[in-house]
């Protein structure tokens, strides 16, 4: 198998017109190295590309695929990159509200497939992140006995670069997560980076005053 190809095209270098996609594909990711991904988004996007290349598109596979699961209507996750339990992790959690659930996320997006919804959300996301980042600087971080129901877990490689992200009850932020993986760099303060995911939004809402 060729060491460095990110084409979902030929499995054996002496064959042509042989296409592979989805679970069966092994491919070279320029940032994360050789990969084999067993997830829905990868299967859909690589399958579509294999079909396009069969008709002459000749495009490499560059999609950083994500995956998700809902563990019921109240708890779900979205993840991307290397989320390997042998890697060092840093988690940043925040208080969740009722809207931080997979049920609400799919109702709001109107999309059955998260990876489609995420593309649309990515455009809105960037502007919202900047706003949340400055506002979150003033958010309270005390909160004894509070329920921290949403958060971001960063997966770091041996060089402390972010190579994977797991978002618990944080939805439609894959555009940002994908950008972080693509940048392939270290961060001095991952709590600051987590703020870009708007996880402190609810903490900024003033509590109702008793009448």
Ligand X SMILES: Cc1cc2nc3c(=O)[nH]c(=O)nc-3n(C[C@H](O)[C@H](O)[C@H](O)COP(=O)(O)OP(=O)(O)OC[C@H]3O[C@@H](n4cnc5c(N)ncnc54)[C@H](O)[C@@H]3O)c2cc1C
**Where does 100-199 have alpha helices with state H?**
102-109, 114-136, 174-183, 190-195
Burial of 209 (0-12, 13-18, 19+ CB in 10 A): exposed
Q: Which of 69, 88, 140, 186 binds ligand X (CB under 6 A)?
A: 69
Interface with ligand X: number of residues (CB under 6 A): 10
**Closer by beta carbon to ligand X, 118 or else 201:** 118
**Cβ–Cβ under 8 Å, residues 195 and 93:** no
**Closer by beta carbon to ligand X, 68 or else 197:** 68
The CB-of-106 to ligand X minimum distance in angstroms stands at 14
**Closer by beta carbon to ligand X, 40 or else 161:** 40
Helix (H, G, I), strand (E, B) or coil at 162: strand
The CB-of-23 to ligand X minimum distance in angstroms stands at 4
Residue 102 to residue 115: CA distance in whole angstroms: 14
Residue 114 to residue 80: CA distance in whole angstroms: 12
The CB-of-40 to ligand X minimum distance in angstroms stands at 4
Interface mask toward ligand X for 19-58; x: CB under 6 A = ---xxx-------------xxx--x---------------
The CB-of-42 to ligand X minimum distance in angstroms stands at 7
Strand partners, 156: 88, 162
**Closer by beta carbon to ligand X, 11 or else 135:** 11
**Cβ–Cβ under 8 Å, residues 76 and 70:** yes
Interface with ligand X by CB under 6 A: which residues?
Answer: 22-24, 38-40, 43, 67-69
């Amino acid at each position: 198998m060729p060491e460095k190809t990110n084409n979902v095209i030929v499995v054996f270098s002496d064959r042509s017109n042989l296409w592979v996609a989805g679970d069966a594909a092994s491919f070279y990711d320029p940032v994360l190295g050789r990969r084999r991904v067993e997830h829905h988004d990868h299967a859909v996007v690589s399958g579509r590309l294999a079909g396009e290349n069969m008709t002459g598109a000749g495009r490499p596979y560059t999609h950083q695929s994500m995956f998700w699961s809902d563990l019921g209507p109240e708890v779900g996750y979205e993840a991307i990159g290397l989320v390997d339990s042998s890697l060092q992790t840093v988690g940043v959690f925040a208080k969740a509200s009722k809207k931080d659930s997979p049920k609400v996320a799919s109702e709001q997006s109107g999309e059955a497939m998260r990876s489609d919804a995420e593309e649309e959300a990515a455009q809105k996301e960037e502007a919202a992140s900047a706003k949340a980042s400055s506002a979150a600087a003033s958010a309270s971080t005390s909160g004894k006995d509070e329920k921290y129901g949403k958060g971001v877990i960063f997966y770091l490689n041996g060089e402390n670069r972010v190579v994977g992200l797991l978002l618990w009850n944080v939805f439609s932020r894959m555009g940002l997560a994908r950008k972080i993986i693509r940048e392939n760099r270290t961060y001095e303060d991952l709590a600051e980076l987590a703020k870009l995911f708007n996880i402190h939004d609810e903490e900024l809402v003033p509590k109702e005053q008793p009448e």
